[in-house]
Amino acid sequence: MGAYIGVDLGGTHIGAAVVDSATGELSALRSIYTRSREGPEAVVARMVTLIEEVIAESGQAKTAISGIGIGVPGRLDMQAGVVHYLPNLHGHWQGVPLLEEIVAALEMPTTLINDVRAMTLAEWTFGAGQGVDTIACLAVGTGVGGGFVIDGKLHLGLGGVAGEIGHQVVEPDGPACGCGGRGCLETLASGPAITAMGLEAVTRGLVTRIGELAGYDLNSVSPGLIAEAARGGDAVARAIYDKAGFYLGIAVANVLTALAPRRIVIGGGVAQAGDLLLEPIRRTVRERVFIVPAEQVEIVPARLGVNAGLIGAALWAGHSRGR
């Protein structure tokens, strides 16, 4: 236990704070724009500056901070501390020695972890996953990520990639995915997929308020705007969320059948749609899961919000120090 700095590297923002690993409480929380178009070197330099500012704002001596945990939105080699692929950041992120660069700049113990695995750890420890020993977590946003806690332990699998729920195939002849596959969940139920369905509805001239709410500016169509239309009774908008929820429900049904967790936690920006997304997920699970007692599995919204990733990254730093 102790104070750790948690960092959440996102496509738009980098967040950081001092996290009390015993309580999950945050202090000196700060956020800056990622500006990934400037390239990895500039992003890493901005991250270093942000961490230094968080330490200064916390009023604690650098030596009082036990370490740094960084949540990274993509594939990485956790042991080597090398980033291999960050799909939502501009620039060439293949082979970036992020761990080495942070340690060289700050001379502090540092660990890396996938951002949704970090969120999973945080939700299990302090959020919607508390009180059970096995959970699956999904984050639905620009992509669809995931993570598992099994028998009270964060499950990482080969190379730390366990939990890539967004890249299970839910439609065999579906759209091409950036991972190289086809019909991945991410291509059918992520934020961009929901936005694309909204844009298609508007351009096809379907009877919907999506265009009106966007001021007939197609660049303003977003999952949040489509959710607003759905809550207002728009049948087309509701059908879009039903479709996304259906595909998410197939993925959850697969996870449930394979893992039999006690709880499924759904987070991420798109999940702010609430029951518009959760109800079709639950309905699809009820229709498709028979071997596992699905009625005993709770499907619930995440509780920790946008700071879950940095809380989990700090917890992982503490766990790694304790091994």
Is the predicted pLDDT of residue 323 greater than 60, yes or no?
no
* Domains of the chain, first to last: 3-120+307-322 (3.30.420.40), 131-303 (3.30.420.40)
Q: What is the pLDDT of residues 264-280, one digit of tens each?
A: 999 999 999 999 999 99
What's the angle, vertex CA 197, arms to CA 192 and CA 200, rounded to 5?
120
Q: Are 315 and 23 in contact (CB under 8 A)?
A: no
- CA separation for the pair 124, 282 (Å, rounded): 20
Residue 286: φ, ψ to 5°: -60, -35
Please report, rounded to a whole number, the percentage of residues in the chain having pLDDT higher than 90. 90
pLDDT computed for residue 195 by the predictor: 97
Confidence category of residue 92, pLDDT binned at 50, 70, 90: confident
Average pLDDT, the chain: 94
Residue 243: φ, ψ to 5°: -65, -45
176 vs 1, which has greater pLDDT?
Answer: 176
User: What does 30-54 look like in DSSP terms, one character per residue?
Assistant: EEEE--GGG-HHHHHHHHHHHHHHH
Strand positions, DSSP E, 227-311: 263-267, 298-301
Q: Are 303 and 124 in contact (CB under 8 A)?
A: no
Which residues, 6 or more positions from 84, have their beta carbon under 8 angstroms from its beta carbon? 74, 75, 76, 77, 93, 94, 95
Which residues, 6 or more positions from 212, have their beta carbon under 8 angstroms from its beta carbon? none
pLDDT computed for residue 322 by the predictor: 58
Which residues, 6 or more positions from 138, have their beta carbon under 8 angstroms from its beta carbon? 144, 145, 146, 165, 166, 248, 251, 252, 264, 265, 266, 267, 268
Please report, rounded to a whole number, the percentage of residues in the chain having pLDDT higher than 70. 99
Is the predicted pLDDT of residue 64 greater than 90, yes or no?
yes
Is the predicted pLDDT of residue 89 greater than 90, yes or no?
no
Query: Average pLDDT, stretch 302-317?
Result: 96
Query: Average pLDDT, stretch 86-114?
Result: 92
The DSSP output letter for 56 is H
Confidence category of residue 179, pLDDT binned at 50, 70, 90: confident
Which residues, 6 or more positions from 195, have their beta carbon under 8 angstroms from its beta carbon? 221, 222, 223, 226
Q: What is the pLDDT of residues 144-169, one digit of tens each?
A: 999 999 999 999 998 888 999 999 99
Among all chains, which residue has been given the structure tokens 């590297």? 9
- CA separation for the pair 187, 136 (Å, rounded): 20
* Whole-structure pTM value: 0.94
- Please state the three-class secondary structure of 155-219 as a single string: ECCHHHCCCCHHHCECCCCCCECCCCCECEHHHHHCHHHHHHHHHHHHHCCCCCCHHHHCCCCHH
Could you tell me how many helices (H) and strands (E) the chain has, helices first? 10, 12
Confidence category of residue 310, pLDDT binned at 50, 70, 90: very high
Residue 82: φ, ψ to 5°: -110, 130
